[in-house]
Chains A and B, each alone.
Chain A
Amino acid sequence: MGALVYIAKRFGLYLAVLFIGLSITFLLPRLMPINPVDGYIGQIQSRANGALSAEAIAELRENLENLYGLKGNLFTQYVDYMKRIVFSFDFGPSFTYFPQPVSQMLMAALPWTLSLLLTATVIAWTLGNLVGLVAGYFHKKKAASILEFVGILLYPIPYYILAVTVLLLLAYVFPVFPLSATFPVGQMSWEKVGMIIYNSLLPGITLVLAGFGWNILSMKALAVATTEEPYVIYARLKGASNWTRMTRYVFRNALLPQVTALALSLGMVFNGALLTEMIFSYPGIGLVMRAAATGGDYNVLYGAITISIIAVATAGLVIDLLYPLLDPRIRHK
Chain B
Amino acid sequence: MARHGRTWMLPIMGALMTTTVFAQGAMTDVGTPRSETMIVQTFDGRSSNPSAQNPLNSYAIWRGFRELGWAALWEMDTATGESYPELADGFPEVLNDEHTKFRVKIREGIKWSDGEDFNVDDIIFTFDTAFKYRDKLTNVSAITRLVDSYEKIDDHTFEVTTATPVYDFVTRMGVYTWGMPFNWVPQHVFEPLGDEVVTFQNAPAVTLGAYKIKEFDPNGFWQLWELREDWDESGWNIDEEPAVKYVYYKDFGTEETRALAFVQNQYDVDTFMSPDSIEAAKARNPNIETFSATFPYHDMNDACSYGIYINNQKAPYDMPEVRWALALALDLEQVGISAMSGQFKASPLPLADTPITNPLYVEPLESWLEELTIGDGYKPFNTDFGADLVETLAAQGVDQAQLPSGDAVEAGFGIGWWKHDPEQAAKMLESVGMAKGADGFFTMPDGSPWVLEFVIPGDWNKVLQRVGFSIADSWRQAGFNVNARQVDNGEFGTVQTTNARMELQINWSNSCTYNANWQNSWRNFRADNVLPADSNDALVQNYARIVDERIFDIVSESASLEIGTEEFVENGRQIAKYLTEDMQMINLMNIPTTIPTNSTYWTNFPKQDNFYAAPYTWWSSFKKTVTNVEPTGQ
Contact = CB atoms under 8 A, between A and B. Distances in A.
Contacts of A53: 145-146, 164
B48 interface: yes
B304 to A, nearest CB: 9
B529 A66 contact: no
A230 interface: no
Interface string A168-189: 1001100101111011011000
Contacts of A280: 253
A99 interface: yes
Interface residues of A, number: 77
Interface size grouping (class) on chain B: 35 or more
Interface stretch (B169-177, B375-383, B562-570): B169-177
A194 B11 contact: yes
A317 interface: no
B190 to A, nearest CB: 15
Contacts of A305: none
Contacts of A278: 253-254
Interface in A27-52: 32-40, 42-45, 47-52
Given A54-B540, A57-B541, A59-B144, A182 B29 contact: yes
B171 to A, nearest CB: 7
Contact of A50 (B49, B222, B258, B509): B509
Contacts of A96: 48-49, 58
Given A164-B256, A193-B11, A278-B253, A180 B460 contact: no
A3 interface: no
A48 B524 CA distance: 13
A283 interface: yes
Contacts of B171: 49, 51
A198 B491 CA distance: 39
A105 B49 CA distance: 8
B134 A294 contact: no
Given A168-B260, A178-B19, A51 B176 contact: yes
Contact of A56 (B146, B258, B487): B146
A51 B142 contact: yes
Contacts of A34: 488, 490-491, 493-494
A42 B219 contact: no
A323 interface: no
A90 to B, nearest CB: 15
Interface in B1-60: 10-16, 18-19, 22-23, 29-30, 46, 48-49, 51-52, 57-58
A48 B14 contact: no
B61 interface: yes
B11 A195 contact: yes
B219 A112 contact: yes
B477 interface: no
A42 B493 contact: yes
A281 B257 contact: yes
Contacts of B178: 49
A67 B135 CA distance: 8
Contacts of A281: 46, 221, 251-253, 257
Interface stretch (B210-218, B322-330, B354-362, B581-589): B210-218
Contacts of A199: 15
A180 B490 contact: no
A36 B16 CA distance: 44
A295 interface: yes
Contacts of B83: none
Nearest to B262: A179
Interface string B261-280: 10010100000000000000
A10 interface: no
Nearest to B522: A50
Nearest to B216: A185
A105 B12 contact: no
A117 B385 CA distance: 55
Contact of B490 (A39, A164, A193, A288): A39
A60 interface: yes
A179 B264 contact: yes
A146 interface: no
A74 B350 CA distance: 42
Contacts of B221: 180, 182-183, 281, 283
A9 B478 CA distance: 65
Contact of B12 (A57, A179, A194, A295): A194
Interface in B530-546: 538, 540-541
Contact of B46 (A43, A105, A108, A287): A287
Contacts of B12: 194, 197-198
A208 B536 CA distance: 49
Nearest to B524: A50
B280 to A, nearest CB: 13
Contacts of B524: 50
Interface in B165-223: 168, 171-172, 175-181, 198-199, 201, 215-222
B254 A185 contact: no
Contacts of A261: none
Contacts of B218: 108, 185
A272 to B, nearest CB: 13
B500 to A, nearest CB: 12
B48 A97 contact: yes
Contact of B145 (A47, A52, A168): A52
Interface string A190-208: 1111110111000000000
A63 interface: yes
B460 A63 contact: no
B136 interface: yes
Contacts of A325: none
Residue of B57, B138, B172, B521 with most partner-chain A CB within 10 A: B138
A54 B538 contact: no
B15 A57 contact: no
Contacts of B495: 33
B603 interface: no
B294 interface: no
A92 to B, nearest CB: 13
A194 to B, nearest CB: 2
B497 interface: yes
B466 interface: no
Contact of B181 (A36, A51, A179, A190): A51
A194 B15 contact: yes
B21 to A, nearest CB: 12
Nearest to A68: B138
Q: Which 4 A-B pairs have the closest CB atoms?
A: A194-B11, A34-B490, A283-B219, A56-B145
21 contacts: A33-B501, A38-B493, A47-B180, A49-B178, A49-B512, A51-B181, A52-B142, A56-B145, A56-B146, A58-B540, A63-B135, A67-B138, A96-B49, A167-B257, A180-B258, A185-B217, A194-B15, A195-B11, A195-B14, A283-B220, A294-B460
Given A49-B176, A198-B16, 18 more contacts: A34-B491, A34-B494, A36-B490, A44-B139, A48-B142, A49-B178, A49-B303, A52-B142, A59-B144, A63-B134, A175-B264, A180-B257, A183-B219, A194-B15, A197-B11, A281-B221, A293-B488, A294-B488
